[in-house]
């Protein structure tokens, strides 16, 4: 599974430098030019690590850090141009895990990131719930109405994607990108096939449909019942 890095940095030159470098290293990179956009992205698609600039327009890096920390345990590496003990203490007080002073060498950044990612606790198993459907990220099993079912790796990834984005229409492109990671081409019916498998498992003994087709677009997890 790809490691997701969220970069929150207002300076375009540095943001693009980080995006290029980290993508080249195999990370999946999302970028935001301000704190609010960064927080929104973090909520939509929880990252494995956040690179956070201290000096941001509007909401500053410390406030962003506090809000990220209030919502999750994600490792946060703060970036700043100011090299003072006070900044460091304030940054760490706000919940940052480490601190890197600009300008920094890319190799040093990589080393710090790897250390933080190693230290990060493996995410605790959780149970996604939608209507009477449950998905356990620990056992990777699903359950509906007391009936437990196993899932193959791809079935699990697809169902997890739906459970993480309930009531949201997922386009075929998004599903390809997130679950298959490469382009199957427009003619492939792989998504249809896997949706059919999931429906067989989630609609046993005449249960109502939860994974609906949105014609010409994709699919949505929705409870019409
Ligand atoms: Ca800045």
Distance 55 CA to ligand 1 centre (A): 4
Vertex 192: Cα angle to 190 and 46 (nearest 5): 80
Distance 82 CA to ligand 1 centre (A): 10
Give CA separation, 65 vs 22, 31, 59, 207, in Å.
21, 15, 10, 44
- Does residue 91 share a domain with residue 45? yes
- Does residue 131 share a domain with residue 101? no
- Residue after which a domain boundary falls, among 96, 120, 144: 120
- Does residue 98 share a domain with residue 12? yes
- Does residue 101 share a domain with residue 19? yes
- Within 8 A by CB and 6+ apart from 219, the residues are 162, 169, 170, 175, 191, 195, 211, 212, 213
pTM (2 d.p.): 0.55
Identify the pLDDT of residue 141: 95
Distance 60 CA to ligand 1 centre (A): 9
- Does residue 183 share a domain with residue 115? no
CATH number of the domain where residue 69 is located: 3.40.50.2300
- Does residue 132 share a domain with residue 88? no
Distance 11 CA to ligand 1 centre (A): 6
Distance 131 CA to ligand 1 centre (A): 43
- Does residue 100 share a domain with residue 137? no
Identify the pLDDT of residue 105: 83
- Residue after which a domain boundary falls, among 71, 87, 120: 120
Give mean pLDDT in consecutive 10-residue pieces for the chain, a chain of 225 residues.
Answer: 92 92 90 97 94 93 92 91 67 82 85 85 79 93 93 92 91 79 60 95 93 96 90
Distance 93 CA to ligand 1 centre (A): 20
Structural domain total, the chain: 2
What domain range is 175 assigned to?
A: 127-221
Identify the pLDDT of residue 125: 80
- Does residue 89 share a domain with residue 138? no
Identify the pLDDT of residue 162: 95
- Does residue 162 share a domain with residue 105? no
Cα–Cα distance for residue pair 16/106, rounded to 1 Å: 13
- Residue after which a domain boundary falls, among 63, 93, 120: 120
CATH number of the domain where residue 135 is located: 1.10.10.10
- Does residue 87 share a domain with residue 28? yes
- Does residue 53 share a domain with residue 107? yes
- Does residue 139 share a domain with residue 104? no
Identify the pLDDT of residue 183: 45
């Amino acid at each position: 599974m790809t490691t997701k890095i969220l970069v929150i940095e207002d300076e375009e030159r540095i943001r693009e430098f980080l995006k290029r470098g980290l993508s080249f290293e195999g990370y999946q990179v999302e970028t935001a030019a301000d704190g609010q956009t960064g927080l929104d992205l973090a909520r939509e698609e929880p990252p494995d690590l956040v690179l956070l600039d201290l000096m941001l327009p509007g909401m500053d890096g410390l406030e962003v850090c506090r809000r990220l920390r209030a919502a999750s345990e994600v490792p946060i590496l703060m970036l700043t141009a100011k090299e003072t003990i006070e900044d460091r203490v304030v940054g760490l007080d706000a919940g940052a895990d480490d601190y890197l002073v600009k300008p920094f060498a890319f190799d040093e950044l990589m080393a710090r990131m790897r250390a933080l990612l190693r230290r990060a606790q493996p995410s605790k198993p959780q149970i996604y719930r939608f209507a009477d459907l449950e998905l356990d990220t620990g056992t990777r099993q699903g359950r509906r109405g007391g009936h437990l079912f196993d899932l193959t790796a791809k079935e699990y990834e697809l169902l997890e994607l739906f459970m993480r984005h309930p009531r949201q229409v997922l386009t075929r492109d998004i599903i390809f990108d997130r679950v298959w990671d490469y382009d199957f081409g427009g003619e492939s019916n792989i998504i249809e096939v896997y949706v059919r498998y999931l429906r067989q498992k989630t609609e046993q003994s005449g249960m109502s449909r939860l994974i609906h087709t949105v014609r010409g677009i994709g699919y949505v997890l929705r409870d019409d019942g």
